[in-house]
Amino acid sequence: MKARTHFLTGIAALFLATGTVHANDALPPSIEDEYCPHENEALDPDTQILYQPADNDCAHRRPTTIITFTTTGFERVFREIKCRFTEIKKLAETTYRISASCIDSHSVVSPTKNYVIRFDLQIIDRDLLLTYLSEG
Protein backbone atom coordinates (compact mmCIF):
# COMPACT_ATOMS: atom_id res chain seq x y z
CA MET A 1 0.00 0.00 0.00
CA LYS A 2 2.87 2.36 0.83
CA ALA A 3 4.48 1.83 -2.58
CA ARG A 4 1.20 2.63 -4.33
CA THR A 5 0.85 5.87 -2.33
CA HIS A 6 4.41 6.91 -3.27
CA PHE A 7 3.74 6.02 -6.92
CA LEU A 8 0.54 8.11 -7.05
CA THR A 9 2.25 11.00 -5.27
CA GLY A 10 5.06 10.86 -7.84
CA ILE A 11 2.60 10.90 -10.76
CA ALA A 12 0.73 13.87 -9.26
CA ALA A 13 4.01 15.75 -8.77
CA LEU A 14 4.96 15.04 -12.39
CA PHE A 15 1.64 16.41 -13.68
CA LEU A 16 2.01 19.54 -11.57
CA ALA A 17 5.60 20.07 -12.67
CA THR A 18 4.73 19.80 -16.37
CA GLY A 19 1.65 21.99 -16.11
CA THR A 20 -0.68 19.24 -17.28
CA VAL A 21 -2.81 19.64 -14.19
CA HIS A 22 -3.32 23.09 -12.72
CA ALA A 23 -6.06 25.11 -11.12
CA ASN A 24 -7.17 28.41 -12.55
CA ASP A 25 -5.89 31.43 -10.70
CA ALA A 26 -8.37 34.19 -9.96
CA LEU A 27 -8.31 37.80 -11.06
CA PRO A 28 -8.77 40.41 -8.32
CA PRO A 29 -12.29 41.88 -8.06
CA SER A 30 -10.75 45.36 -8.29
CA ILE A 31 -10.57 45.03 -12.10
CA GLU A 32 -14.36 44.97 -12.42
CA ASP A 33 -15.18 48.22 -14.19
CA GLU A 34 -15.83 49.88 -17.55
CA TYR A 35 -12.67 50.84 -19.47
CA CYS A 36 -11.71 52.89 -22.52
CA PRO A 37 -8.64 52.34 -24.68
CA HIS A 38 -5.90 54.89 -24.13
CA GLU A 39 -3.32 55.71 -26.78
CA ASN A 40 0.28 55.31 -25.68
CA GLU A 41 3.19 55.72 -28.09
CA ALA A 42 5.39 53.35 -26.06
CA LEU A 43 3.10 50.40 -26.86
CA ASP A 44 3.07 48.16 -29.92
CA PRO A 45 -0.26 49.08 -31.59
CA ASP A 46 -0.51 45.64 -33.22
CA THR A 47 -0.35 43.62 -30.00
CA GLN A 48 -0.91 45.93 -27.01
CA ILE A 49 -3.83 47.99 -25.71
CA LEU A 50 -3.87 50.07 -22.53
CA TYR A 51 -7.31 50.42 -20.95
CA GLN A 52 -8.11 53.07 -18.36
CA PRO A 53 -11.28 53.32 -16.27
CA ALA A 54 -13.97 55.02 -18.33
CA ASP A 55 -14.65 58.63 -17.45
CA ASN A 56 -17.44 60.93 -18.66
CA ASP A 57 -15.33 62.18 -21.58
CA CYS A 58 -14.83 58.68 -22.93
CA ALA A 59 -18.44 57.68 -22.32
CA HIS A 60 -19.75 60.66 -24.32
CA ARG A 61 -17.05 60.97 -26.98
CA ARG A 62 -16.31 57.31 -27.72
CA PRO A 63 -19.07 55.12 -26.24
CA THR A 64 -18.49 52.34 -28.80
CA THR A 65 -14.98 51.72 -27.45
CA ILE A 66 -16.07 51.00 -23.86
CA ILE A 67 -15.20 47.52 -22.65
CA THR A 68 -16.50 46.02 -19.40
CA PHE A 69 -14.14 43.72 -17.50
CA THR A 70 -15.15 41.27 -14.78
CA THR A 71 -13.20 38.52 -13.08
CA THR A 72 -14.74 35.99 -15.49
CA GLY A 73 -14.60 37.80 -18.84
CA PHE A 74 -15.12 40.99 -20.78
CA GLU A 75 -17.71 42.48 -23.06
CA ARG A 76 -17.94 45.23 -25.68
CA VAL A 77 -21.65 46.04 -25.70
CA PHE A 78 -21.76 48.22 -28.83
CA ARG A 79 -19.77 45.67 -30.88
CA GLU A 80 -21.68 42.74 -29.36
CA ILE A 81 -18.51 40.86 -28.41
CA LYS A 82 -18.54 38.70 -25.30
CA CYS A 83 -15.53 36.76 -24.03
CA ARG A 84 -15.42 34.33 -21.11
CA PHE A 85 -12.12 33.45 -19.53
CA THR A 86 -11.39 29.74 -19.91
CA GLU A 87 -7.96 29.78 -18.28
CA ILE A 88 -6.25 32.24 -15.96
CA LYS A 89 -2.65 31.71 -14.89
CA LYS A 90 -0.90 34.14 -12.58
CA LEU A 91 2.58 34.94 -13.94
CA ALA A 92 3.61 37.63 -11.45
CA GLU A 93 2.05 39.74 -8.70
CA THR A 94 -0.02 41.82 -11.15
CA THR A 95 0.32 39.88 -14.42
CA TYR A 96 -1.91 37.06 -15.69
CA ARG A 97 -1.93 34.90 -18.82
CA ILE A 98 -5.50 34.46 -20.01
CA SER A 99 -7.27 32.34 -22.60
CA ALA A 100 -10.79 33.39 -23.51
CA SER A 101 -13.57 31.96 -25.61
CA CYS A 102 -15.32 34.76 -27.51
CA ILE A 103 -18.51 35.29 -29.49
CA ASP A 104 -18.86 38.14 -31.99
CA SER A 105 -22.51 38.61 -32.97
CA HIS A 106 -22.04 42.17 -34.29
CA SER A 107 -22.63 41.61 -37.99
CA VAL A 108 -26.20 41.37 -39.24
CA VAL A 109 -25.08 40.05 -42.64
CA SER A 110 -22.75 37.26 -41.53
CA PRO A 111 -23.14 34.46 -39.00
CA THR A 112 -22.00 34.71 -35.41
CA LYS A 113 -18.24 34.19 -35.10
CA ASN A 114 -16.70 32.10 -32.32
CA TYR A 115 -12.99 32.38 -31.61
CA VAL A 116 -10.35 31.98 -28.90
CA ILE A 117 -7.86 34.66 -27.83
CA ARG A 118 -4.82 34.52 -25.58
CA PHE A 119 -3.30 37.54 -23.89
CA ASP A 120 -1.28 38.71 -20.91
CA LEU A 121 -3.13 41.08 -18.60
CA GLN A 122 -1.03 43.41 -16.49
CA ILE A 123 -2.73 45.49 -13.80
CA ILE A 124 -1.00 48.87 -13.44
CA ASP A 125 -2.66 50.86 -10.66
CA ARG A 126 -6.24 51.10 -12.06
CA ASP A 127 -5.21 50.57 -15.70
CA LEU A 128 -5.16 47.29 -17.62
CA LEU A 129 -2.48 46.53 -20.21
CA LEU A 130 -3.40 43.74 -22.64
CA THR A 131 -0.67 42.12 -24.70
CA TYR A 132 -2.14 39.74 -27.26
CA LEU A 133 -0.21 36.52 -27.82
CA SER A 134 0.26 34.66 -31.09
CA GLU A 135 -1.76 31.56 -31.80
CA GLY A 136 1.21 29.22 -31.21
- In single-letter form, the type of residue at position 85 comes to F
Is residue 24 over pLDDT 90? no
Instruction: Provide the residue ranges of all domains of the chain, joining segments of one domain with +.
Output: 24-132
Residue 32: is its pLDDT beyond 80?
yes
Residue 9 has pLDDT above 60, yes or no: no
pLDDT at 107: 65
The tens digit of pLDDT for each residue in 45-98 reads 899 999 999 887 776 777 778 899 999 999 987 778 999 999 999 999 999 999
Contact assessment for residue 128 and residue 50, using Cβ atoms and an 8 Å cutoff: yes
How many of the other CB atoms lie within 10 Å of CB of 118?
A: 16
* The pLDDT of residue 11: 41
